Amino acid sequence: MTDLLRPYSDTLAASAREGLLRRLPETDTPADLLDFSGNDYMGLARRPELVVAAAEAGRRFGAGSTGSRLLSGNTALHESFEARIARDKGAEAALTFSSGYQTNAACIAALLDRVALGAEPLVFADRLNHASMHLGCTLAGVRQLRYRHLDLAHLEVLLENHKGDPRPKFILSETVFGMDGDMADVAALQALALHFGALLYLDEAHATGVFGPHGYGLAETIDLAPTTVVMGTLSKALGVSGGYVACSALVRDYLINKAGGFIFSTAPSPLTIGAALCAWELLPGMDAQRAALLARAQRLRAALRGLGLDTGASTTQIVPVILGDPVRTVAARDALAAVNIRVSAVRPPTVPQGASRLRLGLSARHTDADIDRLVRSLGEALRGL
């Protein structure tokens, strides 16, 4: 091996020693495979309507967008989907991106831009926010003031401590947390943001489709202030791929001008926008599926707790089984895989040290019998470790 490549092999070897090596999962799907490793919460990814909508969008607008939205990639389909998102989120405007990761990186970096703001902003962030939110801060060269997870009293103390500081303030939080399955109080967050004059940025990646009176996320339950920006993904409950922000018309115009991940990247394909618009329109009619999904999650948590397992503070369709040790977590995942049950083993740095876990993502496609099989098999797997 050349010396140039040695740092990479050394890094991989160190990850393996610590039980943190990542590998792509098997691609074969046995007939009785039970999959809890995905985010297809509403079971839409394989719905025929979405595939038909993608094909129809492709026929009208092409398979690819051919360029950035600012060049050749803007279509009536993108514009009408954004108008629909804005309306349903109670915002003035919306903007779509090719992934949720790109949405966060691009929008947060642009909103925190110290040239535009005239000063380095003060950023208050939940300490368990997603990696793509951290990336946005890193791109802006901004240090975050982390508050304890979901602890709004702690956030308030930090805001109070900086009350006299003239620098612009921002609060960043997920609404449903992707690794813990717990929920932020979005009304309280917006009230704090308004009280302390901070811009609020909410990530609804795991709430879109599952929560809200029409399934459009937890922020659907509040009157969005013009200083609240809400992002979400099209890749989880909507079953497709991409991301969006819902915001004021002013912020949309600003992002179109300043968000690098929007300006310098090809517009999302009409195929994905067509499918995502179809999924978006299906959501309000899925109340029964949402209720059943959350009831099944509740049943799962109760059964896991009955086995003495720690499901953290989950109250949603995401149920962690916190085992602590990464090696034991991987062994449990592999034991389940051996009986054709797929779950994710989530380890540091995705979660804090000592908090390795199996992450169970429920879908409207699962049945009560699937949950029973999972619980039985997990109990057996853990007894065998």
Ligand X SMILES: Cc1ncc(COP(=O)(O)O)c(C=O)c1O
Looking at the Cβ atoms of 97 and 196, the one nearer to ligand X is 97
Q: Give whole-number Cα distances, 197 to 164, 192, 225, 226, 254, in Å.
A: 11, 8, 11, 12, 20
By residue count, the chain amounts to 385
Pull the structure tokens for residue 137.
């801060």
If one asks whether residue 178 binds ligand X (CB under 6 A), the answer comes out as yes
Q: Which of 144, 173, 235, 248 binds ligand X (CB under 6 A)?
A: 235
If one asks whether residue 205 binds ligand X (CB under 6 A), the answer comes out as yes
Concatenated DSSP letters for 20-77? ----PPP----TT-EE-SS--TTS-TT-HHHHHHHHHHHHHH-SS--S-TTTT---HH
DSSP state of 138: H
Characterise 177 by phi-psi region: left (phi > 0), alpha (psi -120 to 50), beta (else). beta
Q: Which of 88, 113, 126, 203 binds ligand X (CB under 6 A)?
A: 203
Distance from C-alpha of 176 to C-alpha of 86, rounded to nearest angstrom: 20
Q: How many residues bind ligand X (CB under 6 A)?
A: 13
Looking at the Cβ atoms of 176 and 322, the one nearer to ligand X is 176
3-state secondary structure of 194: helix
Looking at the Cβ atoms of 128 and 145, the one nearer to ligand X is 128
If one asks whether residue 233 binds ligand X (CB under 6 A), the answer comes out as yes
If one asks whether residue 173 binds ligand X (CB under 6 A), the answer comes out as no
If one asks whether residue 82 binds ligand X (CB under 6 A), the answer comes out as no
Looking at the Cβ atoms of 237 and 378, the one nearer to ligand X is 237
**Smallest gap, in angstroms, from Cβ of residue 369 to ligand X?**
28
Pull the structure tokens for residue 366.
């699962």
Concatenated DSSP letters for 102-118? HHHHHHHHHHT-HHHHS
Nearest Cα neighbor of 95 from 244, 257, 253 is 244
Place of tokens 């089984």: 321
Looking at the Cβ atoms of 113 and 174, the one nearer to ligand X is 174
**Smallest gap, in angstroms, from Cβ of residue 373 to ligand X?**
26
Looking at the Cβ atoms of 272 and 377, the one nearer to ligand X is 272
Residues 6+ apart with CB under 8 A from 44: 50, 209, 237, 238, 239, 240, 279, 282
Site string for ligand X, 85-114 (x = CB under 6 A): --------------xxx--x----------
If one asks whether residue 132 binds ligand X (CB under 6 A), the answer comes out as yes
**Smallest gap, in angstroms, from Cβ of residue 115 to ligand X?**
26
Looking at the Cβ atoms of 135 and 222, the one nearer to ligand X is 135
Looking at the Cβ atoms of 108 and 382, the one nearer to ligand X is 108
Closest residue to ligand X, Cβ-based?
A: 100
Q: Which of 47, 130, 252, 301 binds ligand X (CB under 6 A)?
A: 130
Looking at the Cβ atoms of 106 and 152, the one nearer to ligand X is 106
If one asks whether residue 181 binds ligand X (CB under 6 A), the answer comes out as no
- Bridge partners of residue 373, in order along the sequence: none
Please return the burial class of 378, using the count of CB atoms within 10 Å of its CB with bins 0-12, 13-18 and 19+: buried
Site string for ligand X, 239-278 (x = CB under 6 A): ----x-----------------------------------
Cα 280 to chain center, whole Å?
16
- Where do contacts with ligand X occur on this chain (CB under 6 A)? 99-101, 104, 130, 132, 174, 178, 203, 205, 233, 235, 243
